[in-house]
């Protein structure tokens, strides 16, 4: 996922902006992952539409804390004397709630990721890295070659790391999906969950079908990125862990 530049000795190495943005994004994502899990434990129910709470049907829910299917409510009370009125009820159990530090750290990690991600995005565009190394060429863009690459990865037939961005077709398409779809989707849906942001840019609620829909899409995008991270680490280990880490830190 990184461009190389030739040195006087003829070797190749990662550019400094690649190393810096790579590790800032990595640390930021881990912060977002930990705090995101914490916030999911506080409210492990996901909805579709504008609103949702424990007293409304969930699209799906995760058994990740004692807040899952607790059933600890007093009798619900309607706000108005009419059919379909919103209801309220008091909890009868000790809720798990660590949202204070979780939300603050989540937002902080998010802005670090956005800034580093924008640096990587614009640098990748203006240096020609995406065009040279990630966009598949006309000769390699075929279903046959793509499936052959997929099968090789499933069989864990991973070539050793080289001194340049010699990416396969599956690797290129995956990186493009992460950079230009999953990461922007996660950032945009995250912004849509902020009342201050949507007050200034209400079209975000229209694009993502409501704040609760944005939260659900945000969770799915985050899960997909977490899966990508796991697979990415496996590929790094299989292709030569020491060489890969050395190339992304102080080595060539």
Residue pLDDT, tens place only, 146-170: 777 778 777 776 766 655 556 777 7
SS (H, E, C) the chain: CCCEEECCCCCEEECHHHHHHHHHHHHHHHHHHHHHHHHHHHCCEECCCCCCCCCCCCCEECCCCCCCCCCCECCCEECCCCCCCCEECCECCCCCCCHHHHHHHHHHHHHHHHHHHHHHHHHHHHCCHHHHHHCCCCCCCCHHHHHHHHHHHHCCCCCCCCCCCCCCHHHHHHHHHHHHHHHHHHHHHHHHCCHHHHHHCCHHHHHCCCHHHHHHHHHHHHHHHHHHHHHHHHHHHHHHHHHHHHHCCCCC
Percent of the chain with pLDDT over 90: 23
Q: What is the mean pLDDT of residues 46-67?
A: 85
pLDDT of residue 221: 94
Residue pLDDT, tens place only, 68-97: 776 666 666 676 777 767 666 666 666 767
pLDDT of residue 110 exceeding 80: yes
pLDDT of residue 4 exceeding 50: no
Residue pLDDT, tens place only, 178-235: 999 999 999 999 999 988 899 999 999 999 999 999 999 999 999 999 999 888 888 8
The chain-wide mean pLDDT, for the chain, equals 79
Q: In which band, very low, low, confident or very high, does the pLDDT at 1 lie, cut at 50, 70 and 90?
A: very low
């Amino acid at each position: 996922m990184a461009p190389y530049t030739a040195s006087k000795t003829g070797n190749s190495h990662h550019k400094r902006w690649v190393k810096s943005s790579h590790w800032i994004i990595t640390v930021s994502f881990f912060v977002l992952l930990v705090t995101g899990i914490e916030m999911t434990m506080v409210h492990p129910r996901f909805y579709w539409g504008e609103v949702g709470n424990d007293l409304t049907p969930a699209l799906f829910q995760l058994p990740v804390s004692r807040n899952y299917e607790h059933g600890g409510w007093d009798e619900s009370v309607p706000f108005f004397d009419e059919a379909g009125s919103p209801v309220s009820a008091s909890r009868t159990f000790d809720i798990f709630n660590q949202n204070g530090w979780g939300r603050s750290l989540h937002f902080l990690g998010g802005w670090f990721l956005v800034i580093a991600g924008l640096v990587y995005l614009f640098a990748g565009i203006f240096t020609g890295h995406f065009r040279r190394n990630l966009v598949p060429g006309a000769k390699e863009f075929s279903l046959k070659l793509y499936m052959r690459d997929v099968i090789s990865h499933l069989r864990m037939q991973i070539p050793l790391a080289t001194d340049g961005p010699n990416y396969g077709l599956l690797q290129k398409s995956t990186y493009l999906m992460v950079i230009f779809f999953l990461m922007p989707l996660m950032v945009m849906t995250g912004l849509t969950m902020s009342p201050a942001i949507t007050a200034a840019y209400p079209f975000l609620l229209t694009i993502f079908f409501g704040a609760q829909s944005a939260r659900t899409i945000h969770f799915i995008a985050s899960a997909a990125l977490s899966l990508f991270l796991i697979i990415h680490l496996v590929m790094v280990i299989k292709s030569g862990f020491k060489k890969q880490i050395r190339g992304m830190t102080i080595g060539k």
